[in-house]
Amino acid sequence: MIFPTNSLRMQIAALSVTGASLLVGCDRSTTDRDILWVTPREAIGLSEKPMGTFGSKGPPRTLWLDPRLPDQFTREHLPGATNIPFPEIAKSHEATCKDFDLFIVYDSDYDDVMAKAASKRLLELGYNEVFTIRGGVKAWQRDGLKVDKGTDGAVTPK
């Protein structure tokens, strides 16, 4: 009878772990330290800054993501925002997020719980250019920027 060496056992174990992670999916682990906070004005600047060599690609395709519940979104939201409630992000991200280069996430106010959760979820799903507006809609309005109400200006997810 042939017994595997320790080296062979380690290789088999490594292959088993790799195979198991492929079967269950591989999310990145995130913490609050991974969140990149921006002001409303910085978010606008990021969305307008041309990409590529000497700006040859033009501005990034930006998803302004509102992860709140639809009724909160209807009350007030940033112009051009897309409402994808937080529980839906993991299920719908391939259809709703794949065509974007930049993600700007916001919440209602300075508590930012939903914005933090949504930003971390996007990072875990493999999106890299994710920024979170500190203070959300309240900060946006404090800076004198307009918000939309109802579904005016809203972008419907694909």
Confidence (pLDDT) at 18: 40
Residue partners of 145: CB distance under 8 A and separation at least 6? 40, 78
How much is the pLDDT for 7? 54
pLDDT digits (tens, 9 = 90+) for 7-35: 545 444 444 444 433 344 445 788 878 89
CA pseudo-torsion sign 40, 41, 42, 46: positive
Pick the closest to residue 29 from 133, 126, 132 (CA basis).
126
Please state the domain extents for the chain. Answer: 27-142
- Name residue 33's amino acid: R
37 three-class SS:
strand
- Rg, Å, the chain Cα set: 20
* Best CATH choice for the domain 27-142 from the list 3.20.20.10, 3.40.1160.10, 3.40.250.10, 3.40.50.2300: 3.40.250.10
pLDDT at 154: 63
Which residues does the chain have with pLDDT short of 50?
8, 10-26
Instruction: Check: CB of residue 100 under 8 Å from CB of residue 155.
Output: no
Confidence (pTM): 0.78
